[in-house]
Amino acid sequence: MAGYVDPLVVGRVIGDVVDLFVPTINMTVSFGSKHVNNGCDIKPSMAANPPSVYISGQQSDLYTLVMTDPDAPSPSDPTMREWLHWMVINMPGGTDPSRGEEAVPYMGPAPRVGIHRYVLVLFRQKSRLPGVASPATRANFNTRWFAAQHDLSFPVATVFFNSQKEPANRRR
């Protein structure tokens, strides 16, 4: 009988973006009617607008949501690892990103070469983060470093999807 292997390990999210952790919060993510499961494929055109995200937890707890692409500009040469696509801070538990503060505006997937992973990581905050928590640049963002700088510790939930450039005649 084969053992269970975490898709975050198989997809190299654990290692490339975050360290091994135990999820403690439920997070659901969807683009329209497409629910995001680890490793699923989402077309860039489907992800042009921010996803619907809902997290469990207590409303008295605050969370930070980070979305990055660890494969920028290409999976074989990720010299801009990680590219920051979205950040919402001070999001109360039991809600969605609209109840938090958008520190970095959403930027949909735009892979030029290869299949890219887009990782959404949720951290529990120990206290309210100041609005200046947003990084100066999207390129070479480091999720681990950001978490350490803002005393966020380990993630409480993570999900990732894959996306690749769509042929011009297939875009909707």
Interval 148-164 mean pLDDT:
95
Give the start-to-end residue ranges of the domains of the chain. Answer: 7-165
pTM: 0.93
Is the pLDDT assigned to residue 49 strictly greater than 70?
yes
CATH code of domain 7-165: 3.90.280.10
Residue type, 149: Q
| Of 42, 16, 59, residue with least CA distance to 158 | 16
pLDDT band at 134 (very low <50, low <70, confident <90, very high): low
Q: Are 119 and 17 in contact (CB under 8 A)?
A: yes
pLDDT in tens, 77-105: 999 999 999 999 999 999 999 999 999 99
pLDDT in tens, 107-125: 999 999 999 999 999 999 9
How far are the Cα atoms of 31, 65, 170 from residue 48, in angstroms, in the given order?
Answer: 9, 18, 15
